[in-house]
Amino acid sequence: MTDRIIVVLDNQPAPAAWGNAKVSFQGNTARIHLGEGDLYRQVQAAARQITAQGIQSVTLQGEEWDPVLQWRFACGFGTAKVPGEIEWASHDDQLEPQRDAQLWLKDLTNATPEALSPEVLADEVAERLSGLAPDHITSRRIVGDALLAAGWVGVHGVGRGSERPPVLLELDYNPTGQHDAPVSVALVGKGITFDSGGYSIKPSAGMVAMKCDMGGAATVAAALKLAIRRGLDKRVKLYLCCAENLISGHAYKLGDILHYKNGTSVEIVNTDAEGRLVLADGLIAANESGAERIIDAATLTGAAAVALGDDYNALFSLDDEAAEDALDAAAEVDEGLWRLPLEPFHADKCPSPFADTANSRAVKGGGTGGASNAAGFLSRFAGTPPKGWLHFDLAGSYADSDNGQHATGATGMGMLTIANLLLKA
Give catalytic residue positions.
202, 276
Pairing of strands 137-143, 167-173: antiparallel
Starting at the earlier edge strand, list the strands of the sheet with 5-10: 23-26, 29-33, 5-10, 57-60, 85-87
CA distance 256 to 266: 8
Closest CA to 233 of 277, 174, 187, 185: 174
CA distance 68 to 225: 20
CA distance 218 to 112: 14
How far, in whole angstroms, is CA 223 from its chain's centroid?
9
CA distance 331 to 314: 14
What's the N-to-C CA distance of the chain in angstroms? 47
At residue 210, φ and ψ (nearest 5 deg) are -75, 5
- Whether the CA torsion 325, 327, 333, 337 is positive or negative: it is positive
Question: If you count them, how many residues does the chain have?
Answer: 425
What does 258-291 look like in DSSP terms, one character per residue? EE-TTS-EEE-S-TT--HHHHHHHHHHHHHHTT-
Closest CA to 64 of 44, 39, 46, 86: 39
Evaluate whether 275 touches 213 at the Cβ level (below 8 Å). Answer: yes
Cβ of 343: how many Cβ atoms within 10 Å? 12
At residue 129, φ and ψ (nearest 5 deg) are -70, -40
CA distance 236 to 174: 7
Cβ of 131: how many Cβ atoms within 10 Å? 10
Closest CA to 296 of 265, 317, 310: 317
Evaluate whether 98 touches 73 at the Cβ level (below 8 Å). Answer: no
